[in-house]
Amino acid sequence: MRNLPIITLLLQTKSRNQMLEITDHVQRLVAQHQIQSGLAIVCVPHTTAAITINENADPDVKHDLLKKLDQLIPKSETYYQHDEGNSDSHLKTALIGNSATVIIERGQLVLGRWQGIYFCEFDGPRGIGKGRFGKAEKRGGKSNGD
């Protein structure tokens, strides 16, 4: 397996809690680097932002997910001790996770018909946030089924 360098994707958010679909960005990077098979590991190096795969056909899903997270994890709790006032953001990130792995086959991300990759902002707005995209490719760019 040939390892390729980590690529940084710069993103800008506009609100404290936001989900940005980044599927097209990741797919363009796969095409640009001529990756035919392997894995795309999408990771965010922030403790208050996350990566998830979810439905991308209906924008209400993003809305509902963010509203439910706000309901489950309010911005303020009497027992929060973190001085920065963003304990809720850290908790949301811990639940969602900071990475997702997507299979690449024949140069395409292997996602379900309605799936998309999302950068989840929980402590924005963030001027320019970094998302990292790591990838690996089978030798010769062809999958041999193993």
Give the H or E element holding residue 51. strand 49-55
Read off the amino acid at residue 97. Answer: G
pTM (2 d.p.): 0.86
Domains assigned to the chain: 2-138 (2.60.120.460)
User: What local confidence, expressed as pLDDT, does residue 113 receive?
Assistant: 96
Query: Which residues of the chain fall below pLDDT 50?
Result: 135-146
The string of pLDDT tens digits covering residues 49-91 is 999 999 999 999 999 999 999 999 999 999 999 999 999 999 9
| pLDDT, position 130 | 55
Q: Contact at 8 Å (CB) between 110 and 104?
A: yes
